[in-house]
Structure formats: C-alpha cells, structure tokens
Amino acid sequence: MWTLFFTFFKIGLFTFGGGYAMIPLMQEEIIAHNWLTLAEFLNIVAIAEMTPGPIAVNSATFIGYQLYGVGGAALATFGVVAPSLIIMVIFSHLLAKLRASKYSVALRGVAITVTALIAAAVLGLVKPAFTNYADVAIALAAFVLVAKTKISPILIILGSGLLGIVLYGYIL
C-alpha cells in the first residue's frame, strides 16, 4: 500500500498543468506496476473525462479501489493531492510577498496572459467538441444564457446534459 501512496504522490508532484498533462506519466507508472492493462487504463481515462473532477484524482480513486478497496481509494487520492497541499501553501506565501513588493505590477501582465491561455484553450476545444449543428446550437444557447441572464452555470451544465439525453436518445 505504501507503493500505491508513493506512486500517486509522484504523479501529483511531477505533473505540471493538470488534466491531460498528467496522463502520460500516470500511464507509465500504472502499467509499470502492472496495476492495470493499457485497455483498462484508457477506460478509466474515458470515465474520468465524463465524470466531474480532476482526471488525476479520478484515476487515483479508481485504481486505489481496484487494488485495496475503499481504504486504497482514499490513500491513493490523498497521495495525489499531498504534493499540492505542500506546494500551494508555499506558493500562497510567495504570491502574498509578490503582491506586496515593488514588482507587483508583474501580476497585471500575468493575469492578461492567463486570460490568453483560457482563450487558447477554448479555441483548442472547439474542434473536438463541435461535431454537428446540435453542438453549435447548444454552445450558442449556453453562451447567451450565461452572458445575458442570471442562470447559474451549474443549471446550464445540467440542462445541456438533459438536452443531450433527449436529443441523442430520442430525436436524432
């Protein structure tokens, strides 16, 4: 069980940028330990993609459970977030220091660059997410609703999912 914790600690520690950036290292570690076959691993990635939450956390929980039950799930999940706990507490101090320093203006540029990162992510998502006209219609409706009304993004997510069930299950 120590190996399980340590492996997910390593995955949490050495994967920058979250999400998909974590998959190659995860795959390497998990296959190397013979915890899952490649097909099983890809299955988990697919499940993680369509369930809420960070992919790394989802995989840790699933594999931990697979190996040692609920306790293993908790241990692997704790392992994958433990590096974040340590590093983020340190970064929080650094951020506070930077905000109070004479270089705080740097953060104004940084905020703009992060906005560009998000915009670029959207551009990258358009192609895989828009496969037909229904997708485009759902996206436009979601944008208008979030921009022009007070409806919460949560309701929009739930609504679009229900729409998907009706649309793809019964109409298209």
Query: In which element (H, E) is residue 17 found?
Result: none
122 near other proteins, rule: CB under 8 A: yes
Tell me whether residue 1 or residue 114 sits nearer to other proteins (CB atom): 114
Q: 39 to 68, contacts with other proteins by CB under 8 A? A: 43, 46-58, 61-62, 65-66
Other C-beta atoms closer than 10 Å to the C-beta of 38 total 10
Determine the Cα–Cα distance for residues 116 and 14; give it in Å rounded to an integer: 25
Q: 101 to 120, contacts with other proteins by CB under 8 A? A: 103, 105-120
Query: In which element (H, E) is residue 92 found?
Result: helix 55-100
Determine the Cα–Cα distance for residues 132 and 10; give it in Å rounded to an integer: 40
For the window 126-145, what string marks contact with other proteins as x by the rule CB under 8 A?
x--xx----xx-xxxxxx--
Q: Nearest approach, Cβ of 2 to other proteins (angstroms)?
A: 20
7 near other proteins, rule: CB under 8 A: no
5 near other proteins, rule: CB under 8 A: no
Determine the Cα–Cα distance for residues 13 and 10; give it in Å rounded to an integer: 5
